[in-house]
Amino acid sequence: MTQKKIEIFLLAAVIVVAVFLRFWQIRNYVVFLGDEGRDMIVMREMIREKRPTFLGPTASVGGFYLGPIYYWMAAPFLLLWRFDPVGPAYFVAAIGVATVILLYKFIKDAVGFWPAILASSLYATAPLILRYSRSSWNPNPLPFFALLLIYFLYLGIKKQKFIHFLLAGAAFGVCIQLHYLATILLAIAAPVVIVNTNFRKWPLFFILASSGFLITFAPFLLFEIKNGFPNFQTIAEFVTRGTTVGYKSTNYFWIIANVGNIFLEFLTKINGTAVTRIIFWALTASGIYGLVKFWQNPDKKLIFTIGVIWFIGGLAGLRFYTGQIFDYYFGFMFPAPFLLAGLTVSLVWFQKAARIATVATTVAAIIFFINNSPLRFPSNRLIDQTANVADFLIEQSGGEPFNFGLITDSNSDHAYRYFLDVKGAKSVELETLVTEQLMVVCESQKCAPLGHPIWEIAGFGRAEIAGEWYLENIGIKVFRLTHWPGAPNPAGKPAGKGG
């Protein structure tokens, strides 16, 4: 078999594995809770009203909103799957496969086939990457667009074609609408340009990138301008707010190493060992070594600059985030350690012993990743469970109008409301009308709906339990409440909050 055929075969194998791991039984594993239900409600309304929204999902903290780009990208898939929530998950999975292919192409263009195929195979199977490549959620496409930004930046500097800077800016405009921590990419891109280009061209690069950014960011920017910049003001207040959470040390050397170890533990599922610390220092040292070694080689200097700054700079940038760091916060730099791993391989590939050790280590890592894959655990079937609960509510309501409430420890009711709406249930908001019955779903260990303080129950008025069921196959309780005959009946009028 020729070298070319070997390369085609191995690349096809990596793509097949990436596709299988992202699409296999995807419907049964999709996370479909309140946040996802909220997104589906917004996208379905966009489709029904034939009017795009200019406001995206709420950020996980801070009380502000993201841009609408995720809704715009995912809504067509919801329509194609006839409002089945699995549709946008297929979009995210396809983006996940595209990220594997783009990472391969990037590394191959920069340092050759073998570093590219080994690094992309690791990315294709990494447990954390896989977890966020199989569900519909606004941060999940971020690794692709972050990698696209870095790749266009690479091409723009290497080939001096200005269209690439325009496209890099456009990719950045998408990134910060998926998660605001992607703004760190700006602090990564700037030094890459500064180190690798002539300062006389910086104004032109800035104008081109800014123009691309405005193209994709325009919908959200127009919303802000029209409404007096409410989200920009909230963001400014949030980032200047004091907090007791986050890093307070000024020892940046320790902070970067510590955050890097946390990141690699998230990625690999290797927790509480020295392995991830060794990986961190190996990647860091090899990246810096390559940068020094190839400082006089413009192309190699460029790719090693990108690898080091994206990885180390991304970790350093998280120092300025003062809240708790969750695994998906690293989404803007998910591909970075794999890119740096490919560059590390390129440094030692000329040695036969190093080649054998590298391939063996990669194969062992892939086996470990697959053994720790989220697919090894039983599926949650959340979409089907939520749809079945909605069917049960409709059945027990007797086809009559009803109000709806959810008792939960950490969820919201949007997922249930989405299916109630899709199925044409006569579910009515309390602010619109108080009906004769209230259907309550309880996901908590303690289920006591009478007198519960949540608005959806308190606003219904004093009530009594007219029906109670335990859905054993799902593990939740359902209650049907009616108005207590000894109190004034508020039915037939809207319920006003605070009144």
Average of per-residue pLDDT across 138-155: 98
Least confident of 114-118, 393-397, 407-411: 407-411
Contacts of 473 (CB under 8 A, 6+ apart): none
Q: Tokens 């740096």 — which residue?
A: 340
Six-digit token string for 185: 């990419």
Does 48 have pLDDT greater than 50? yes
Q: Of 301, 294, 259, which Cα lies nearest the Cα of 280?
A: 259
Measured CA distances, 113 to 291, 302, 445 (Å): 20, 18, 54
The pTM of the full predicted model, rounded to 2 decimals, is 0.93
Report the distance separating Cα 221 and Cα 178, nearest Å. Answer: 15
Say what the pLDDT of residue 373 is: 94
Report the distance separating Cα 454 and Cα 465, nearest Å. Answer: 17
pLDDT in tens, 433-449: 999 999 999 999 889 99
pLDDT in tens, 326-376: 899 999 999 999 999 999 999 999 999 999 999 999 999 999 999 999 999
Residue 338 and residue 103 in contact, taking contact as beta carbons nearer than 8 Å: yes
Six-digit token string for 1: 């078999």
Least confident of 31-35, 288-292, 307-311: 31-35
- 59 in the Ramachandran plot: left (φ > 0), alpha (ψ -120 to 50) or beta? beta
Say what the pLDDT of residue 322 is: 65
Q: Of 79, 101, 103, which Cα lies nearest the Cα of 90?
A: 79
Instruction: DSSP letter for 57, please.
Output: P
Instruction: DSSP letter for 256, please.
Output: H
The angle at the Cα of 101, spanning 292 to 88, to the nearest 5 degrees, equals: 125
User: Please, what is the average pLDDT of the chain?
Assistant: 92
Say what the pLDDT of residue 169 is: 98
Q: What b/e sequence results for 447-486 when a residue is b if at least 16 CB atoms lie within 10 Å of its CB, and e otherwise?
A: bebeebeeebbbbbbbbeeeeeeeeeebebbbbbbbbeee
Measured CA distances, 132 to 92, 129, 327 (Å): 8, 6, 10
Does 124 have pLDDT greater than 60? yes
Six-digit token string for 442: 């309880």
Instruction: DSSP letter for 428, please.
Output: -
Does 59 have pLDDT greater than 80? no
Does 246 have pLDDT greater than 60? no
Say what the pLDDT of residue 60 is: 66
| Helix/strand number for the chain, H first, E second | 21, 4
pLDDT in tens, 267-298: 999 998 999 999 999 999 999 999 999 999 99
Average of per-residue pLDDT across 423-428: 93
* Three-class DSSP category at 63: coil
Task: Indicate the pairing of strand 463-471 with strand 476-483.
Answer: antiparallel
Say what the pLDDT of residue 241 is: 57
Measured CA distances, 255 to 87, 258, 309, 400 (Å): 40, 5, 16, 59
Say what the pLDDT of residue 61 is: 64
Helix axes 298-308, 184-196, angle to 10 degrees: 160
Residue 395 and residue 387 in contact, taking contact as beta carbons nearer than 8 Å: no
Q: Of 40, 23, 142, 178, which Cα lies nearest the Cα of 90?
A: 23
DSSP string for 267-321: HH---SSSHHHHHHHHHHHHHHHHHHHTTT-HHHHHHHHHHHIIIIIHHHHGGG-
Least confident of 52-66, 322-336, 397-411: 52-66
Does 499 have pLDDT greater than 70? no
Per-residue confidence at 195, pLDDT binned at 50, 70, 90?
A: very high
Does 245 have pLDDT greater than 50? no
Amino acid at 55: L
Other CB atoms within 10 A of residue 4 CB: 9
Per-residue confidence at 244, pLDDT binned at 50, 70, 90?
A: very low
